[in-house]
Every structure is written in C-alpha cells, then in structure tokens.
C-alpha cells in the first residue's frame, strides 16, 4: 500500500508515523506530506530517511490511503481531491465529523457501519473517543438518558505551541503563547473558541459527536472542558444517568470485557487512572466507578487516555486496519 500522512511534521502526524511503525502497518511506500515550506525536508521512518512532499505532489502519486492531521481548513480543501484520485481518506480534523454522509468512527464501537463505498472517514475528537469507548457497552446494556461531563485536557491537545508555552513558563522564559493566560499552575476553563450558546467548540463536539457515534440523539449531554497544565493525557469526570437500574459489579465486568478498556479501580489501595499512567499507551483507563446516590440510576466514572494516541493517531490507524481486514481498502 501507498500511504500518505498529511501533516507529517506536526505533533499528531509524528505520532501517526510512530504508531504505523509500531503496529507494522502494511505499507510499501510512505508519502509524508506537509506545507510547501517543509517540502524537501526528510523524516525518519523504519530506519530510513523519507522526503516530505507537498499536497499537490501527494495527490499526483495517488496513494491508496491518506491519513490527514493538518487542520480543518486543509482537510476541507484537499480531502476530496484525494478521494477523487481514488484514495481512502481518514481525517483527524473536525471538518467532516458532523456531515451526515461521512461516517464518524471508533472501530470498537461502530466500525461495522463502514461500507465499501466510504472513501472519506472522520476520526472523532480526542475527548469523545476515550469517552464513547467506555460508554458504549453501558449504553447497550442500560440505555443512557443523560451525561454530565467535565474534562481535564492536556496542553498537547492544543499543539506544540502550547507545550512550549508550558515548558517556558516552568523555566521562567518569555515566549510565544498559545493561550490568553498562563497555563502553568493554572486551569483554563476554555478549550477552543466560544460558540453563541456560551459553550466552547470542544464542549459541543462532546455533545454532537457522542450522539452520532452512539446513534442516539435522545441522550441529554452537557459538558465543561478545561485545559490543565499536563503534557500528556486527557482526563474526564463523567456522570451518567441510565434509563434502567444497574449492578455495579456488572458495570465493572462490562468495562473489563471491552476491547481497549482497562479498569483500574481499587480505591482502598489508592488505585485509579491518571494521565501519567496513560502516556504513550493506546488503552482507555477507567476508575472511580461508583453509584451516584443523588440521582436515580446514576453512575460516576473517571476516564483517562493519551489524547495523541487513542485520542488521535492510534484510532485513525485502527480505522485503516479495520477497513483493510474487511476488504474496504
């Protein structure tokens, strides 16, 4: 297979390259793609130096698969140029996620909805991916009525500029800022821009993408997304109100049996998920699982995952692996 990675010199693109190599993805030609100013540079892949090309050059090479992680504007402008050339595109931006014609996929949850005619597939938001992976088996069993979500999101979700801001602030160095405020020793209750309803785009992604992936528009969802001074891994406090009563042991058993989920929940021994635990891991960790006694049929969970891996690069590549296995590429 000829595989293009669009945004290969960026933070998520770099992780995509690493995950492709780690998982021995079956490619015979890697096409790293970046902006014109990065064209001609080389990146390392599987011990070889590979030259970075422009988007125009990449389209002309007609790759079998293109993994996009170069922002929404690039995806809107270029994704369909690749699909018109016969390429299957898996896009990591928000550009196509809510298009009713474009599948929004977490393979373990709704991979079966992929069909042979799908040439453009959307990868969900990082916070959505880890949450729906844990929610999906519980929704099937008990039916989710309402979700109240609070996220604690790593600066890596913003990009390299935000990582540098945090590092500079910790060292007392002045530099370019990704945020309006200091992030070191601080929490910023804003992820992405505000929308007219007072919620941020990140919060509305959690609302809209969750309903689409779980195929249930009736779920009531509210979210608050917070940026925290952590350099790897997103955490989420999720309060779930079910339509039916549940057994706590059964909930833990369902989660333990879910591919890609690790239950780490032993409060008596101070065992619970933390972002430091998830860094460079592909699993979603779930803990602090407990009944919410203030509401009927309600549960609290704490969900943690590496936002650059399962929240972005790994899920993208798992979509490609699933399509390969099913003969869709």
Catalytic residues: 126, 234
Which structure tokens are listed for 196?
A: 């007219």
Alpha-carbon separation of residue 189 from 61, 179, 312 (angstroms): 44, 11, 22
- Phi, psi for 269 (deg, rounded to 5): -115, 25
Three-state secondary-structure class, residue 91 = strand
Yes or no: say if 234 and 153 are a contact pair by the CB < 8 Å rule.
Answer: yes
Give the pairing type, strands 261-263 and 284-291: parallel
Which structure tokens are listed for 195?
A: 């929308």
Biggest alpha carbon–alpha carbon distance for the chain: 60
Instruction: Detail the DSSP E strand segments found in 46-153.
Output: 48-51, 65-68, 88-91, 120-122, 144-153
Helix (H) or strand (E) holding 20: helix 11-22
Instruction: Detail the DSSP E strand segments found in 13-52.
Output: 29-33, 42-45, 48-51
Yes or no: say if 88 and 323 are a contact pair by the CB < 8 Å rule.
Answer: yes
Q: Which residue has the tokens 């504007």?
A: 73
């Amino acid at each position: 297979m000829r595989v293009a990675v669009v945004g290969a010199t960026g933070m998520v693109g770099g992780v995509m390259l690493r995950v492709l190599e780690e998982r021995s993805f079956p490619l015979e030609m890697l096409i790293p793609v970046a902006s014109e100013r990065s064209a001609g540079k080389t990146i390392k892949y599987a011990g070889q130096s590979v030259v970075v090309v422009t988007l125009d050059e990449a389209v002309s090479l007609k790759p079998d698969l293109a993994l996009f992680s170069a922002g929404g504007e690039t995806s809107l402008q270029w994704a369909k140029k690749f699909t018109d050339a016969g390429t299957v595109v898996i896009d990591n931006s928000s550009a196509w996620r809510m298009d009713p014609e474009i599948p929004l996929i977490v393979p373990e949850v709704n991979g079966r909805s992929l069909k042979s005619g799908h040439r453009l597939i959307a990868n969900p938001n990082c916070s959505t991916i880890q949450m729906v992976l844990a929610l999906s088996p519980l929704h099937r069993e008990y039916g989710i009525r309402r979700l109240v979500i609070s996220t604690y999101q790593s600066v890596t979700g913003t990009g390299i500029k935000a990582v540098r801001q945090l590092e500079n602030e910790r060292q007392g160095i002045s530099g370019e800022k990704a945020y309006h405020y200091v992030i070191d020793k601080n929490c910023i209750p804003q992820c992405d821009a505000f929308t007219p309803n007072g919620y941020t785009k990140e919060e509305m992604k959690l609302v809209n993408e969750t309903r689409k992936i779980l195929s249930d528009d009736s779920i009531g969802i509210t979210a608050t997304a917070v940026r925290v001074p952590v350099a790897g891994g997103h955490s989420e406090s999720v309060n779930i109100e079910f339509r039916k009563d549940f057994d706590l042991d059964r909930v833990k058993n369902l989660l333990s049996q879910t591919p890609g989920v690790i239950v780490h929940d032993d409060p008596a021994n101070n065992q619970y998920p933390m972002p430091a635990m998830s860094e460079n891991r592909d699993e979603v960790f779930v803990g602090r699982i407990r009944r919410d006694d203030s509401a009927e049929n309600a549960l609290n969970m704490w969900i943690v995952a590496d936002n650059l891996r399962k929240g972005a690069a790994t899920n993208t590549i798992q979509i490609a692996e699933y399509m390969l296995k099913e003969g869709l590429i």
